[in-house]
Structure 1
Amino acid sequence: MNSEFTIAVHSLVYLAYLPDHMASSEMLAENVCTHPARIRKIMSSLRRSGFVKTKEGIRGGYMLNCCPEDTTLAQIYHAVSYGTLKPSWCTGNPEQPCLVSANIQTVMDGIFHDAEMYLEAYLGNITIESVLKKIKKCP
């Protein structure tokens, strides 16, 4: 999994914390501790998926465009990180006479697919609002 999911959740929770306020990419980047260009890339995916709306120009930025109580982390994961649980490097060689080398990639693909399904099911039970509530309980 890549860090885009965590950055997306952080950004959406921050916007939920400041309802009806516009946040610039610089403001979000400072809060998330990353570069504004990275924020803009991730927020672009979130905008395409309808989680945020944007306003360009002076005093522009991002605003929450979804209901925090109804928006699940599974929806966010699907928008920005789906398919990233599986490593990009594959092991094995289907052309090899070795049983393990010839079949490991197929078996591991199935394992990662199942793990992603379990992860999405788990994340489907967590909303932006529930994350914000947990944050508010922290000392």
Structure 2
Amino acid sequence: MVATRFAVAIHILLLLATEPGGQATSGRIAGSVGTNPVVIRRLAGQLARAGLLRVRRGPGGAELARPPEEITLAEVWMAMRRPGLPLLPNHPGPRMNGDALGRAVPGLLRGVLDDAERAMEDHLSGVTLRELHARVVEA
């Protein structure tokens, strides 16, 4: 679920970086994303609380809070994920009377999955919205 919210949030921010001010309404963005304007407004609220965009009431009332070269994908990722919930869930292991392996695997795997998520976040911190925007323009 967080990966979907992240992708839609990136779409929202790219549209705001691309379209002239006042044209990127929630309806326009929803049409581009292929979802409902309510979903766009909810995610825009999360992005605004994270300091990535500013929202004003009325049509076309959203704009980037900072230039695209100052917004990293890691910031968008953190705005969309729910604290305490890992991206890669793990099975809990046996509730009672498990063998030593059964008790050990969940903790071992959790460490590996957490390392993978940190590596992804590190990579995302090196990619800016401007870089993605340039790729869109090239395409």
Q: Same fold (TM over 0.5)?
A: yes
Structure 2 counterparts to residues 109-128 of structure 1, below 5 A: 109-128=110-129
CA 1:92–1:103: 2 relative to 1, 3 Å: same
The residue aligned with 2:88 is 86
2:26·2:60 contact (CA, 8 Å) conserved in 1? no
Q: CA RMSD in A?
A: 1.8
CA distance in 2, matches of 1:19, 1:107: 50
Write the deviation string for residues 11-53 of structure 1: whole angstroms up to 9, x where unpaired: 1011011253352211111111111121112111101011111
Give the C-alpha shift of residue 137 in structure 1: 1.0
Are residue 9 (structure 1) and residue 10 (structure 2) matched? yes
Q: Unaligned stretches of 5+ in structure 1?
A: none
Q: What SS does the corresponding residue of 2:70 show, helix, strand or coil?
A: coil
Write out the 4+ residue segments of structure 1 that deviate beyond 4 Å after TM superposition: none
Aligned to 2:26: 25
Name the CA shift for 1:20/1:44 in 2 (closer, same or farther; >3 Å): same
Matched, 1:74 2:74: yes
Question: TM-score by structure 1 length?
Answer: 0.87
Alignment length (residue pairs): 136
* Greater helix proportion: 2
1:94–1:103 Cα contact (<8 Å) kept: no
